[in-house]
């Protein structure tokens, strides 16, 4: 697989294709990701309007994108655990719970940042 990736710009194009495939898969298979994308489609333009400085706008957008990023990582964890097997195991459950907790923390961080920018 590594030999087809090439170097330099070819590697970047291959990586971009894999990334796009991952985004499409998450959109098709993950309800939470679709919901968070819809929130982002509203929040990013709002951030451009309500942020008073470039830094505030960047921070508001970054925390929204961070939620999407953590959701993608959580989906990856869930897929790997499910690939291992369907039998219940405490470590499988723990991995999924920790991934879910990471998403929750990303959402809390986003809410705190938005709260401080809007009301602080």
Question: What is the per-residue pLDDT for 5?
Answer: 56
In a domain, 74, yes or no: yes
Q: What pLDDT, in 10s, does the model give residues 66-98?
A: 999 999 999 999 999 999 988 899 999 999 999
In a domain, 54, yes or no: yes
Residue 31 designated active-site: no
The number of domains in the chain is 1
98 is in which domain, residue-wise? Answer: 31-119
**Residues 17, 22, 27, 32: is their CA dihedral positive or negative?**
negative
Q: Judging by beta carbons within 10 Å of its beta carbon (0-12, 13-18, 19+), is residue 60 exposed, middle or buried?
A: buried
Q: What pLDDT, in 10s, does the model give residues 27-68?
A: 999 999 999 999 999 999 999 999 999 999 999 999 999 999
| Token pair listed for 2 | 């590594």
Identified catalytic residue from 36, 52, 71, 78: 71
The domain that holds 104 is classified in CATH as 1.10.287.3610
pTM, full prediction? 0.89
């Amino acid at each position: 697989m590594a030999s087809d990736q090439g170097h330099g710009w070819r590697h970047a194009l291959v990586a971009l294709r894999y990334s796009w495939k991952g985004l499409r898969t998450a959109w098709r298979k993950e309800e939470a990701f679709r919901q968070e994308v819809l929130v982002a489609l509203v929040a990013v333009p709002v951030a451009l309007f309500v942020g008073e400085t470039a830094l505030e706008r960047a921070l508001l957008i970054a925390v929204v994108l961070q939620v999407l990023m953590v959701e993608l990582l959580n989906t990856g964890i869930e897929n790997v655990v499910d690939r291992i097997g369907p039998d219940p195991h405490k470590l499988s459950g723990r991995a999924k719970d920790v991934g879910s907790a990471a998403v929750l923390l990303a959402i809390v961080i986003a809410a705190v940042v938005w709260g401080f920018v809007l009301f602080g």
